[in-house]
Amino acid sequence: MEVRRLAVVGTGLIGASVALAAKRAGLREVVGYDPDPQALDAAVERGAVDSGAESLADAVAGTQLAVVAAPVAQLAPQVRAVLEASEEDCTVTDVGSTKVGVCSAALGTGRFVGGHPVCGSEARGAEHASAELFDGATWFLTPLAATDPERYRLVHGFVSSLGATPVAVDPVAHDQLVALTSHLPHALANLLVNQAGANRIDGHDPVAAAGGSLRDMTRVAGANPRIWIDIFLDNAGPVREALGDHRKQLDRLEQALETGDAGFLAKWIGEAAGNRQRMLADAYPDPGALQQLRVHVPDRPGVLAGITQALGAERINIEDFELHHMSPDRGGTLTLLITGEAEARRAAELLGAQGYGVVVAPALGE
Amino acid sequence: MEVRRLAVVGTGLIGASVALAAKRAGLREVVGYDPDPQALDAAVERGAVDSGAESLADAVAGTQLAVVAAPVAQLAPQVRAVLEASEEDCTVTDVGSTKVGVCSAALGTGRFVGGHPVCGSEARGAEHASAELFDGATWFLTPLAATDPERYRLVHGFVSSLGATPVAVDPVAHDQLVALTSHLPHALANLLVNQAGANRIDGHDPVAAAGGSLRDMTRVAGANPRIWIDIFLDNAGPVREALGDHRKQLDRLEQALETGDAGFLAKWIGEAAGNRQRMLADAYPDPGALQQLRVHVPDRPGVLAGITQALGAERINIEDFELHHMSPDRGGTLTLLITGEAEARRAAELLGAQGYGVVVAPALGE
């Protein structure tokens, strides 16, 4: 099985990026279709698709693979329509953020393989599309017992060719997993920023007094409602379950605070440190050796270049690098993660020589 | 009133950094005291204090200002001890993360002004101290009706001279404010990472499958238990209140998910976007104009230098800059915030010319 002609159904940001990435991988022909003619025109203009089809049937005719990139709420009917409109040798996949609904809509056909690229982009429209959107991203695939293994291999190879890393998972497990790792964090970010935003304390506005932790934790707050209303409603079951578990965790914490239970708090924080370290184990070769450097920098162009050049020239590898702005007057805080104490000290000395004061500490507590 | 001789009581990270910053500001003489002789030796070795005193009485003798930098649990008795040991013309302040307890321990004396620098460092010990720790930071001050206005002005001027921005607030309001903006986010970060860490879903480890939102939201999870157990217990009242409000917000969300209330979700997300924008209003001149650029970069030294140099050479001002590592094989994601669409496009073109694919989108949704 080989993809010679690809249909992309839904030519928004994700669909158009799939098309661009497929062409980057050497695919010759990509046909686009979108129920919204403007969205389709944008993808043609962007050069993402070679041609825009007039109808779904035209789009999928003669294709070996159709990628359905519709909004979550339209995913199930759209996948069904594509399965009906396409020939037997056309494999169908999708890119939706939830998988149970669309997989059951595929009615046990061997031709469908559910998919979900985790690329976290909030942009809309083919004009923001990029061939590089999936580079390094996890791409969940949800084959079922009925799925033809050849088709699964085809989709697996296709998403790999786009630069992503395919990870197979059961659709029910997928939806629970994203409820816990993405939808619950999004919900808590919204809850937290709205709680802080709704209160004024003795004339002080909590959101204006926000420290780094509140800013970090509300990074995704208010994210694109067109996408997120659908996701919350479509995955309401697993999200409610995750919120229920969250409530149980809250109960235990509140009890510990009520009784002044320092032992519980110590265990709870220790567990959190361990889980956080496990989270970073994939990203860093040795999370325990990570050192955090904090530098206060002024707000002007060229500051970052000076710092990264000095470290780059000394071949010091920066694992993470963050600049957070406080205000035009007060400048910002730069946080670097560097592996190894000696290496971190070397970096601190280089920055010290540029006149910066650097605070070095183990990144994961003690 | 003028500070000629300063006493720092408690010479850990914060105390030693106060001493270094005071000397940077031109103060001639800093005396240190710590009940732990090792901590005091470290501060002397670091050159943070000019001399280490043998007793509290020796430390505060002849000083015009004493800064108490004890752990939260020892703050109240230590401030009381310093007030007793020092002469009438010595003003006393502290740097604790909670303020109600220590302010009531000061028993209405006009000589005490509570303080709290918000510098978010998790490091410990004078060896990590830095004169720059407070640059650009908010420093809460909690004068009471009994506080001598001259003393308040003295402390206000002193913390300004350390590079911080003093903000006056009532102690009760302070503790509610930090419960909401710091302690609640910390608690939720721990709850969230422990919830994700306690579950395995169909063989998948949620913390290993963590997307960007979960990583962002658990940045402070597992933070220094020696500091945080004290903070949670000392500020248990306001933290429980904040958790109670959080529960009420949860109720409404769960109800909306149960009834499929898209209208509520739209309003809720819209509010979150507004609150988040308000949070960033201080940090950025025009949050609505912020554009987000996302770039996938390989894991090797020099990459950041190449990017920041190219942008710096073109005088493009980078508001926020974040590199998050995915893995040594998969490289990382670089996220830049730049003000203005034209400026963002110019940056994207410069990076495109270096062979990077860039996804540009408004930073605060649409």
* Per-residue pLDDT tens digits for B232-256: 999 999 999 999 999 999 999 999 9
Residues in chain B: 366
- Reduced 3-state DSSP string for B119-151: CCCCCCCHHHCCCCCCCCCEEEEECCCCCCHHH
Locate the chain B residue with the closest alpha carbon to A316: B301
A365 pLDDT higher than 70? no
B121 pLDDT higher than 70? no
Q: What is the mean pLDDT of chain B?
A: 91
Residues in chain A: 366
Choose among B213, B357, B366: nearest Cβ to A220.
B213
Nearby residues of A198 by Cβ (< 8 Å), 6 or more positions away: none
Domains and CATH numbers, chain B: 5-169 (3.40.50.720), 174-260 (1.10.3660.10), 287-362 (3.30.70.260)
What integer is the mean pLDDT of B124-145?
89
* Per-residue pLDDT tens digits for A54-109: 999 999 999 999 999 999 999 999 999 999 999 999 999 999 999 999 999 987 89
Give, for A345, the enclosing helix (H) or strand (E): helix A341-353
Task: Give the best residue of A140, A144, A184, A191 to mutate against chain B (max B CB count within 10 A).
Answer: A191
* Per-residue pLDDT tens digits for B188-213: 999 999 999 998 999 999 988 777 78
The answer to whether the CB atoms of A254 and B240 lie below 8 A apart is yes
Structure tokens at B167: 């903000």
Give the distance, in angstroms, between the CA of residue B352 and the centroid of all CA atoms in the same chain. 36
Query: Are the CB atoms for B106 and B112 separated by under 8 Å?
Result: yes
Which A residues 217-276 touch B at CB under 8 Å? 217-225, 228-229, 232-233, 236, 239-240, 242-243, 245-247, 249-250, 253-254, 257-258, 260, 262, 265-266, 268-276
Q: Percent of chain B scored above 90 by pLDDT?
A: 65
A123 pLDDT higher than 90? no
The answer to whether the CB atoms of A181 and B219 lie below 8 A apart is no
Q: What is the mean pLDDT of chain A?
A: 91
What integer is the mean pLDDT of B102-121?
89
Query: Are the CB atoms for A241 and B287 separated by under 8 Å?
Result: no
The answer to whether the CB atoms of B195 and A172 lie below 8 A apart is no
Residue B2: phi and psi, rounded to 5, are: -150, 145
Tell whether A354 lies on the interface with B, counting CB pairs under 8 A: no
In chain B, residues with a C-beta closer than 8 Å to the C-beta of A313 are 305
Which band of pLDDT confidence, cut at 50, 70 and 90, is reported for residue A122? Answer: low
Choose among B186, B279, B318: nearest Cβ to A207.
B279
Give the distance, in angstroms, between the CA of residue B312 and the centroid of all CA atoms in the same chain. 28
A279 pLDDT higher than 90? no
What integer is the mean pLDDT of A2-13?
95
Choose among B208, B228, B316: nearest Cβ to A282.
B208
Which band of pLDDT confidence, cut at 50, 70 and 90, is reported for residue B326? Answer: low
Which band of pLDDT confidence, cut at 50, 70 and 90, is reported for residue A120? Answer: low
Residue showing tokens 């071949």: A315
Which band of pLDDT confidence, cut at 50, 70 and 90, is reported for residue A121? Answer: low
Locate the chain A residue with the closest alpha carbon to B317: A301
Q: State the nearest Cα–Cα gap between A90 and chain B, in angstroms.
A: 30
Task: Give the best residue of B13, B170, B220 to mutate against chain A (max A CB count within 10 A).
Answer: B220
Which B residues 112-151 touch A at CB under 8 Å? 118, 120-124, 128-133, 135-136, 138
Give the per-residue pLDDT at B366: 41
The answer to whether the CB atoms of B308 and A309 lie below 8 A apart is yes
Of A156 and B281, the one with more pLDDT: A156
The answer to whether the CB atoms of A365 and B207 lie below 8 A apart is no
Choose among B193, B225, B301: nearest Cβ to A266.
B225
Give the per-residue pLDDT at B5: 97
Structure tokens at A189: 């970010």
Q: Is B166 helix (H, G, I), strand (E, B) or coil?
A: strand
Q: Percent of chain A scored above 70 by pLDDT?
A: 97
Tell whether A73 lies on the interface with B, counting CB pairs under 8 A: no
Tell whether B330 lies on the interface with A, counting CB pairs under 8 A: yes
Rounded CA-CA distance B212/A101 in Å is: 24
Give the per-residue pLDDT at B122: 59
Tell whether B184 lies on the interface with A, counting CB pairs under 8 A: yes
Residue showing tokens 């140099």: B309
In this structure, the dihedral spanned by the alpha carbons of residues A228, A232, A233 and A236, taken in order and rounded to 10 degrees, is: 170
Of B366 and A263, the one with more pLDDT: A263
Q: State the nearest Cα–Cα gap between B321 and chain A, in angstroms.
A: 5
What integer is the mean pLDDT of A248-276?
96
A209 pLDDT higher than 90? no
ipTM value, please give it.
0.89
Tell whether A320 lies on the interface with B, counting CB pairs under 8 A: yes
Which band of pLDDT confidence, cut at 50, 70 and 90, is reported for residue A332? Answer: confident
Nearby residues of B105 by Cβ (< 8 Å), 6 or more positions away: B75, B76, B77, B79, B80
Task: Give the best residue of A217, A229, A234, A364 to mutate against chain B (max B CB count within 10 A).
Answer: A217
Which band of pLDDT confidence, cut at 50, 70 and 90, is reported for residue B350? Answer: very high
Rounded CA-CA distance A220/A217 in Å is: 8
Among B28-37, B116-125, B271-280, B307-316, which range has the highest average pLDDT?
Answer: B28-37
Identify the weakest region by mean pLDDT among A121-135, A255-269, B107-121.
A121-135
Give the per-residue pLDDT at A366: 41
B299 pLDDT higher than 80? no
B54-57 long-range contacts (CB < 8 A, ≥24 apart) are B56/B9, B56/B81, B56/B82, B56/B85, B57/B85
The answer to whether the CB atoms of A316 and B301 lie below 8 A apart is yes
- Buried b / exposed e over B59-81, threshold 16 CB at 10 Å, is bbbebbbbbbbbbbbebbebbbb
The answer to whether the CB atoms of A197 and B283 lie below 8 A apart is no
Which A residues 42-61 touch B at CB under 8 Å? none
Give the per-residue pLDDT at B237: 97
